[in-house]
Chains A and B, each alone.
Chain A
Amino acid sequence: MTTVNINSLNKTYPNQPAPVLKDFSLSINDGEMVALLGPSGMGKSTLLKLITGIERPDSGDIQFDGSSILNVDPNKRGAVLMFQKSYLFPFLTVEDNIGFGLKVQRASPETIRGEVKRMLDLIGLPGIEKRKVGQLSGGEGQRVALARALVTNPKLLLLDEPLSSLDTEVRMNLQEAIRVIQRELGVTTTFVTHDLGEAMAMSDRMALLLNGEIVALDKPETLFHRPRSMAAAKFMGVSTFLNGDQLPVKCEARSLSQKLFAIRPEHIRVQKDGCEQSLQGVVSDCVFRGEYVEYQVAVGEMSVRARMPMPAQMFSHGEQVHVRFPAEYLFEVQN
């Protein structure tokens, strides 16, 4: 049970002009799971290395329960990493892999055996103690890696894209398993991913990391539906941004001509008939995706992407349509 405070962390690698992390600050509450979301190369994995002590920051501080850990040896920090690959030791059995952390901390063989059994029950793989790690599937390997990480009762669990190498079904199962186990044990967790869906499904809060800085930090539903900045909105899949004066005549927000508004593609409506909240346009692209149909509509000089749930009225390329922006779904963003 740990509260983590990261204060003004800076890190630049030698021979690299731009810093990987710039004045990075983040607080993680006790037992909370925070997802660090962002494209590759934005400093997410570097942050985990700084927390575990594999790398040292240029400046700033990392605190566990109010005490700085920067001068604590990496093997005594209690921050355990789980990577994209399981990194189970190939020369050990499942039992010895899970018990590794306890063994190096000189726990008794009875304690290790008991804890390994408890962990295997927890991850839903009882009875595989004697199996070699080469005999495990990708999903089983990651479950065992999770057990190995949790058995030491870590202060902070760091997950570095642990599911990205797995196929969809296994990934969905593991997302749920990790979430359930994390809640059951109440271990403070940071989860690095570039997959928006995964971050939303698993985290209590999401931090969007771009160019070494947090550009948005909020609950998944808030960040998804009401991102405050244009950069965050774009990462959340928003592609339609309008100034107040570009909005239809009857929109209240039109009076705020200097402000920038955004709307999610699934909230935009494409229809045959015009109304006071719509703008006229021409369908430039139409893609049927099963559960929904995606339209690209040219409205003046603007290109609007709309996602209409099926069943929906179908329009073809070049057809004249009206695009409606329901006022309740428009939200203001900072450029």
Chain B
Amino acid sequence: MKRIASYALRMILYFILVAPLLLFIAYAFSTRWFFPQPFPIEWTLTTFQRAIDDSRTLSSMAQGIWIAVLVSLLSLILALPTARVLGLRKFRGRQLAWLLLFLPTVIPPLAIGMGLNILFLRIGLAGTIAGVVLAHIIPTLPYTIFTLSSAYARFDENYEFQALALGASPWNIFFKVTLRMLAPSLVVATLFAFLISWSQYLLTLLIGGGQVITLPILLFSAASGGNPATIANLSLLFIAPPILVIAATARQLNQHGNEIREQY
């Protein structure tokens, strides 16, 4: 009985997760689907093909990916030293530092966006990719710091001391020991940063000011247009990069996780 209940619960959860995706697929690849028919009458690739052929779709995707990659990279560069201090050192004001670094997660993005917009307008970063990248770092940084500081809290500095005594330079230690020991958490942190940046709508709209168009901007504009096929097509394209990134990193994660587990 318990097994049946657990199975049923699992199926319900899978259904909740997969149902919207199935709905998008049905809308994206069909031409005629009227109530009360449970499935579309005609299937076609035309609407999807049209969405891909639209230069705005591809350029917004490329721009979004480019921005997400830059944001991930910069977030990691900023988060690594911060996370090291927070994870490995005990110091006065540590709790306050945590609070300050997590503020962006509780402050409404609109407030952050408006404030940044005024600042970026003054310094000429509004409407530029650089401005959007900097704005995206604000919501991504708390998550990358949190992920990496947890990894550092479990990290044993003696691995670094060992490498140091064996003659490795600080850079060698960082790249050949520390980063490789932290690899699983680095992958997770990068994933967080990429996904948060990729799905940013409000900050991109406020800072990009219509000059920087990413897929969420295009998707929201299509949503207000009310064409379900277009919305479904863009939505499928919107979830494609995250799924690819998760699929690619899941293998890596598993591999590195096992190696580290073997040692402990």
Contact = CB atoms under 8 A, between A and B. Distances in A.
Nearest to A78: B167
Contact of A133 (B158, B161, B262): B262
Interface string A161-203: 0000000000000000000000000000000000000000000
Q: Size band of the A side of the interface?
A: 20 to 34
Given A90-B263, A132-B262, A134-B262, A54 B161 contact: yes
Interface stretch (B18-26, B121-129, B173-181, B192-200): B173-181
B159 A75 contact: no
B164 A74 contact: yes
Nearest to A151: B166
Interface in B246-264: 256, 259-263
B163 interface: yes
Nearest to A73: B169
Interface string B169-189: 110100011001101000000
B158 A90 contact: no
Given A52-B161, A81-B161, A83-B162, A101 B262 contact: no
Given A52-B161, A90-B259, A104 B180 contact: no
Contacts of A133: 262-263
A74 B165 contact: yes
A152 B166 contact: yes
B218 interface: no
A316 B241 CA distance: 82
Contacts of A149: 165-166
Interface in B204-261: 256, 259-261
Interface in A75-93: 75-77, 79-81, 83, 85, 87-91
A81 B181 contact: no
B168 interface: yes
Contacts of A74: 164-165
Contact of A87 (B162, B259, B260, B262): B162
Interface of B: 156, 158-159, 161-170, 172, 176-177, 180-181, 183, 256, 259-263
The 4 closest A-B pairs by CB, nearest first: A134-B262, A90-B263, A101-B166, A104-B168
